[in-house]
Each structure stands twice: as C-alpha cells, then as structure tokens.
Amino acid sequence: RAKRDDEITDDDIISLIMGLCKSERQTLEYKKETTSEYLEILEAYLPKMATEAEITAWAKENVDLSQFKNAMQAMGPIMKHFGKSADGNVVKKVLGTLG
C-alpha cells in the first residue's frame, strides 16, 4: 500500500532520490556522458556519502573478518552502521581489499 504523507520518512525520500540518481547515471552512460545538471541537482539533496577511507577505517576497527566464511558476508554490519551514506559498490571494493 502507498504511504500517507505523515508516514513518509527521510529515508524514503533519500531512497527515492538515490533511485533517480542511479537512473540518470545509466542514461548518461548510454549517452557516453559523465555528468548532467540534473544529476548534480539530485546529488545536492543527498547526505554526504562515506568515503572509501572512512569505510575501510571503520571496518578495520569494528569488523572481525575471521568470523565470516568470506569477506563479503561482512557487508551487512558495515551497511547497517553507515546506512544510506555508504555506496554498496564502495563497501564491496573495501571488503575485496581487506579479505
């Protein structure tokens, strides 16, 4: 069911904008372009994304990779900590270098 106005959260809005950004990036990739004014405007409304260095530092400090069968299973705790401020592809890259 659709949410009522009073049920919409900031996370809902962030998810919506992230989806629009992803769609615009795919369009730009198809057009062989790198950026657009529309994408820049959308990204201005998103929270600051965690950097690869920030994710790496947190993972080294807080995640014991030995308790997982493979490094990618550690993605859950990292994404839970960073929430929408971490790009899943960046987390995968970090885990690839740590694992």
Residue 36 sits in the same domain as residue 62: no
Average pLDDT (62-80) is 91
Residue 57 sits in the same domain as residue 92: yes
Residue 38 sits in the same domain as residue 58: no
Q: What's the pLDDT band for 84 if we cut at 50, 70, 90?
A: confident
Provide the domain limits for residue 32: 5-44
Question: Which residue is it, tokens 């106005």?
Answer: 5
Residue 56 sits in the same domain as residue 94: yes
Residue 35 sits in the same domain as residue 69: no
Q: Does residue 99 register a pLDDT over 80?
A: no
Residue 40 sits in the same domain as residue 56: no
Rounded CA-CA distance 11/62 in Å is 25
Total count of domains within the chain:
2
What was the pLDDT predicted at 5?
A: 86
pTM > 0.75: no
Cα dist from 62 to 4, 57, 81, 92, 95, whole Å: 38, 9, 10, 16, 13
Cα dist from 57 to 61, 69, 75, whole Å: 6, 21, 14
Residue 37 sits in the same domain as residue 56: no
pLDDT tens column, 8-60: 998 899 999 999 999 999 999 999 999 999 999 999 999 899 999 999 999 99
